[in-house]
Structure 1
């Protein structure tokens, strides 16, 4: 997986200083975030929970966008490499939490299986008419047929082309989700969790949005509100996210997108909008070209600044894995105030699973590394295998939230790359993106709530 939309080109300009800058800044931001800890702001019956993951994104973004001593493209490339490894290590740890709970999840299987219905309903049924009414035109199709994670972005490039309005919609929602999705979903999950309307398990199921960072943010907020159910919340959120990663893309391509295109035509006629989002009379509207890849030409899609590619020698990869492992252990030590010798071995196992998942993803590109690592870690830690006790012993003291803090700090540090693309976004797309995230999450949680209480 990659958080860079532009093509990265090899460059010899990445030096030791760039590594040092990224390592020092990410560790410093992570440490400050952990020390700040959790801040709970009560808003009537609900609460907004600000915890280390949110501080890490915010503080990292401040450093990543400041102009006094801007972070260089080469340093951002290093941060992106560490980020890609860190998010898979985080998923590996989540997998080791899912495995021991598999036997307990049998009763909520239907709720997990039906979550995609909630996601489709939330995005296409709720967000699409708002996007059309705001005048986004065909951009609305790309912005609302899913929450537009990496696989959907790649599909949009191939299906519609980078100059199409559909691609601009997908890109905008993807970009906003990558940069701010974790913060937004964590705030929303904390707010809804504080209202006590939803079963926390239903909210956890709703977090299967296909984004590890969003799931991490939301599950972290819920775990703080319901500490006694924290392990179950994390396991359900991760399992739900795994289902979305496996079947969500196909549901989006074969169900959500065709439905979205048909409903787009209906809403465009109802609101009197053409494919550029302009208001038209009924006579003009009747003669309008139907939505499709060959419809009206569109201006260039926003693009991110291209950063150089880090040459991936075996020494570079070993360094990157080492940095991710050590920073995760440091944050775990700082947050839990405890270290046992098994922590080091546990981290080594998580790093090995991460490396294996990347290799398997290269051999079978249709299955991303995130799915590989979550599935393998879940199976190996399941109680029906003899390896379960080993995983439980060696990784039991590794707090998954604390391990995720450095990864979120790295996301913030890379924000500067996307400033040109952010400036190109319309405020209307931002509103639609937030509605898309919210509607998908809430609709899936509502469906989960219904199934859990049948």
Structure 2
């Protein structure tokens, strides 16, 4: 069977299985955790992928090979192109919403820079090199995955880092943000501010966070969901430019400064510099 046809067939089977399982919700304390089909797809993909979880389940060893894995890496970038077009079409029709949203919605994107200041030093201390750059340039959802993949290549160390954070966010992000939003009101922050913070550019994580927050503050449910959806839309648009013009230059600068001091000794010296 042709490699592309085999890969397409395997993906189709995974999609059918995950859609059949559907969305699962369960309650933890005052909040709600939402498990989406994307999560099941990632888990199934890990189980059948060579050299990811060690020895694979017996019987799956011949299902997918490294040739299919390499092709899948290329196909990820192609599959992200329609998503990039979708984000682009959001700008024109919703430009008035973006203007009316005010500086609060727009400036929230600067919060992504927190992943750089907090995540990069920790990643370097753990021994990562250029993977640390890709993993911490932002919260690493679809726009960031597309930008890093286009600029460095999805199979590069930077691409490995951004893809790793993307997958971790898919597997654990919905659970983490669902639980976090459940208890967020005790911080004393206004529910509208928390709703805005739920829009981090990920539909699954936004849904989990805003749904849990709406359950915790039911009298503001409609407004919370509206703010979260608007914030998520703006993050998808402004986040792209935040990564390109702020995240990448700042992260490269900090990497050059911190890697010689925090990078683990004894490993291969990383002399690569981004243009």
User: TM-score when scaled to structure 1?
Assistant: 0.44
The residue number in structure 1 matching 2:4 is 9
Check the 8 A contact 2:195/2:224 in 1, yes or no: yes
Q: Is the partner of 2:35 in helix, strand or coil?
A: helix
The residue number in structure 1 matching 2:167 is 175
Q: For the residues of structure 1 that align with 2:58 and 2:166, how far apart are their CA atoms?
A: 28
The residue number in structure 2 matching 1:50 is 32
Q: For the residues of structure 2 that align with 1:58 and 1:156, how far apart are their CA atoms?
A: 22
Count of equivalent residues: 233
- How far the C-alpha of 1:237 sits from its partner, in A, is 1.1
Check the 8 A contact 1:190/1:225 in 2, yes or no: yes
Q: For the residues of structure 1 that align with 2:153 and 2:188, how far apart are their CA atoms?
A: 42
The residue number in structure 2 matching 1:292 is 273
Q: Deviations over 1:102-137 (max 9, x none)?
A: 7xx95x6221010111222x1112211111222212
Q: For the residues of structure 2 that align with 1:12 and 1:113, how far apart are their CA atoms?
A: 40
Q: For the residues of structure 2 that align with 1:263 and 1:110, how far apart are their CA atoms?
A: 27
1:267 corresponds to 2:258 = yes
The residue number in structure 2 matching 1:141 is 133
Q: For the residues of structure 2 that align with 1:243 and 1:215, how far apart are their CA atoms?
A: 12
Larger RCO: 1 or 2 (CA < 8 Å, sep 6+): 1
1:220 corresponds to 2:211 = yes
> Which residue, out of 212, 228, 235, partners 1:237?
228
Matches within 5 A, 1:326-345: none
Check the 8 A contact 1:129/1:267 in 2, yes or no: yes
Q: Is the partner of 1:114 in helix, strand or coil?
A: helix
Check the 8 A contact 1:265/1:291 in 2, yes or no: no
Q: For the residues of structure 2 that align with 1:123 and 1:135, how far apart are their CA atoms?
A: 17
The residue number in structure 2 matching 1:252 is 243
Matches within 5 A, 1:47-446: 49-51=31-33, 53-54=34-35, 109-120=102-113, 122-193=114-185, 195-271=186-262, 273=263, 278-279=264-265, 290-292=271-273
Once the two structures are overlaid, the 10-residue window that deviates more, 177-186 or 248-257, is 177-186
Q: For the residues of structure 2 that align with 1:69 and 1:231, how far apart are their CA atoms?
A: 49
**Change in 2 beyond 3 A, CA 1:235/1:58:** same
The residue number in structure 1 matching 2:70 is none
Which has the higher Rg, Structure 1 or Structure 2? 1
Q: Is the partner of 1:127 in helix, strand or coil?
A: helix
Q: For the residues of structure 2 that align with 1:151 and 1:136, how far apart are their CA atoms?
A: 23
> Which residue, out of 5, 21, 39, partners 2:27?
39
The residue number in structure 2 matching 1:428 is none
Q: For the residues of structure 2 that align with 1:252 and 1:224, how far apart are their CA atoms?
A: 32
Q: For the residues of structure 2 that align with 1:201 and 1:13, how far apart are their CA atoms?
A: 43
User: TM-score when scaled to structure 2?
Assistant: 0.68
**Change in 2 beyond 3 A, CA 1:59/1:117:** closer
**Change in 2 beyond 3 A, CA 1:214/1:125:** same
Q: For the residues of structure 2 that align with 1:59 and 1:174, how far apart are their CA atoms?
A: 15
**Change in 2 beyond 3 A, CA 1:69/1:207:** farther
RMSD after superposition: 4.0
